[in-house]
A = this chain, B = another copy of it.
Amino acid sequence: MSTEDTNAVVFQPSGRRGEIAPGKTLLEAARELGVDLESVCGGVGACGKCRIRVEEGYFPTCGITSGAAHITPTTPLEMGLFTPDELAAGMRLACQAHLLGDVLVYVPEESRRTSQVVRKEASAQDVPVEPAILRYQLKLPPATLAEPTSCAERLTAALTEQHGLPPLEVDFHVLQSLGRVGQECAGDVVATVWEGRAVTGLDAGMELGTALGLAIDVGTTTIAAYLTDLATGKVLATESAMNPQVAFGEDVISRLAVAAHEEDGLSRLQKAVIDEVNILAMRATERVGISPVAIMDVVVVGNTVMHHLFLGLDPRSLAAAPFAPVVRAAVDLRAGDVGLAFHPGCRLHALPIEAGFVGADNVAVILAEAPHRQDELLLIIDIGTNGELVLGKRHRLLSASCATGPALEGAHTEFGMRAAPGAIERVRIDPFTLDVRFKVIGLAGWSDENPPAIVRARGICGSGIIDAVAQMLGAGVILKRGNFNPDLRHERLIVEDGRPAKFVLARPEETALGRAITISLKDVRAVQLAKAALYAGAKTLLRRYGADAPDRIVLAGAFGSYIDPVQAMSIGLLPDCEPGLVTSVGNAAGHGARLALVNLSKRREAAQVAERVEYVELATDSDFQNDYIEAIHLPHMYDSFPKLTQALTAGGAD
């Protein structure tokens, strides 16, 4: 596997591999390959942290033969550090072992660098901090009469001589200020370098300071911003706000219409979102006591329309088939070019788009969940105003977008609301008494465990409405077609025109509204349409993939975190799956954006992913239409979901 000039090096358990020049240490190899390997002393053998194990034998999956003979012998320093057993097992310090041939290296848990890693949840990947922005301390020599070299020449020469960087471009604003830095552009300076390509900032003195990054997830309804220390990868502050474009229209279609037809529509939409991001950045930086001018790098994700409006790209080609985006590849530009008021050298990286409505947010979700690095068949469902689906594993990924409507986000239903304090998020209905108990965000315990007066429900969020529909179905309040059971009479059933038309979830005394919170036939219909679209979309992807069911289901999106998988499956929102293998990962798009912010190779990975994902256009798939119509009915659970049924009857899930 190795060429004549290099050796193959594979690190486990990360699986990272590459060709490394002989003579390099395993620590250097780990750095080159982006492997998380602890080293405090920088590789001089002083800290003893970079412990690894060199495996012996032939490893057919890697195609290499590895062994102690392929690295330089154990040093006295190592002999003093390891026990004889450890030495016999192949333990080494990565900084002391130089490459002589191919090796397979195991990095034990205690040697993995984890403190500096960005992640929120268990399912997120750890990534090493390898940001686009690096800072370098420099000593700029003065010009002399014999060598009256320009400031710019001395700057780039110093980066080359003192840090081994190739000749770099220098941002024009840096040129403009060069004469102000140090004494006649000489002395101690700190240069900020973007992607090893351009000098984007320069400060006098020796202080490295804090280079901040901002990951932005622009949703149709919500904007989230993550302020990050680019040197450590740590999220310093998170801010979010309603997307002010909501004032122009709640869904992407109405905003496309504004951009296309209203005067200055596009620039007003762009200004609205940019202004809000500037405010979020201001708030976040205030919290940590640093100016927004310290923000040197931004990564933005969003669905295709949000992406276009954020960047000010005229989106009219997205308004009609074939829904061609203006640009699909990642876009790199100066953040100031879209109006972000950060450092003048701050860059903006918009992750690539897959196709049509499967946007940069979906690429970010894939980056975060990494189905393309796994051997299990993963179905990722990102539920928002648009549902975005990804199905796949290593070697093949499919994606699709389906219009779920806003019902699952708690909008467009009579008592619908976002998942905010006061929202009913869980519902249980006794199938015999039709008694209702529910959970309210912000309230401890169930409603019936509290005095009615303090329950103060204000509405129903998406997970609450799914629960309600599932429980109403289970209790026989509604039937397979979604309509109310015409034969049922109960104090919670409100009859209109002689037929049951609404079901009371919260009695007036349990609400903050002074009246009952109910579920109407219209609400049930909205849930039916949304779940049918998601289900039929997933089924279409499974059919294209040639699989019956996914191995795991990942629910992404803030909404996904609240969903009860059993309830969702019981109304047919998710394909059949063992409930324990359904996980919620929260705002995976935001997480993906953060990964791309702190790790440059994640941006390259995103480009590859976006290129590789096979986009399935559901609108023109006749089987999808068929599945969709069939899925509008509510399922008879025990027929449709053998895995779910098995899990439930075995008592495995609540």
Known A172-B333, A333-B172: A327·B151 in contact at CB below 8 Å: yes
- Contact of A175 with B326 in the complex, beta carbons under 8 Å: yes
Selected interface stretch from A71-79, A277-285, A308-316, A506-514: A308-316
- Contact of B179 with A315 in the complex, beta carbons under 8 Å: yes
Q: In angstroms, how far is the closest chain B Cβ from the Cβ of A185?
A: 6
Checking B153, B308, B311, B312 against A328 with a beta-carbon cut-off of 8 angstroms, the contacting residue is B153
Q: Which residues of B contact A312 (CB under 8 A)?
A: 176
Among A175, A321, A329, A615, the most chain B Cβ lie within 10 Å of the Cβ of A175
Checking B172, B180, B337, B620 against A331 with a beta-carbon cut-off of 8 angstroms, the contacting residue is B172
Interface residues of A in 255-295 (CB under 8 A from B): none
Q: Which residues of B contact A143 (CB under 8 A)?
A: 317, 322, 324
- A419 at interface (Cβ–Cβ under 8 A)? no
Checking B151, B179, B180, B326 against A152 with a beta-carbon cut-off of 8 angstroms, the contacting residue is B326
Known A179-B316, A312-B176, A314-B176: A150·B325 in contact at CB below 8 Å: yes
Interface residues of A in 326-350 (CB under 8 A from B): 326-329, 331, 333, 337
- Contact of B327 with A620 in the complex, beta carbons under 8 Å: no
Nearest opposing residue in chain B for A316, CB measure: B179
Nearest opposing residue in chain B for A324, CB measure: B143
- A101 at interface (Cβ–Cβ under 8 A)? no
Nearest opposing residue in chain B for A355, CB measure: B148
- A145 at interface (Cβ–Cβ under 8 A)? yes
Q: Which residues of B contact A153 (CB under 8 A)?
A: 327-329
A311–B331 Cα gap in the complex (Å)?
27
- A178 at interface (Cβ–Cβ under 8 A)? yes
A174–B175 Cα gap in the complex (Å)?
26
Nearest opposing residue in chain B for A270, CB measure: B176
- Contact of A327 with B184 in the complex, beta carbons under 8 Å: no
Nearest opposing residue in chain B for A152, CB measure: B327
- A3 at interface (Cβ–Cβ under 8 A)? no
- Taking Cβ atoms with an 8 Å cutoff, the residues of A that contact B are 143-145, 147-153, 170, 172, 175-180, 184-185, 308, 311-317, 320-329, 331, 333, 337, 353, 355-356, 615, 617, 620
> What are some 10 contacts across the A-B interface (CB < 8 A)?
A148-B322, A148-B356, A148-B615, A150-B326, A151-B327, A172-B337, A176-B311, A179-B308, A184-B320, A185-B317
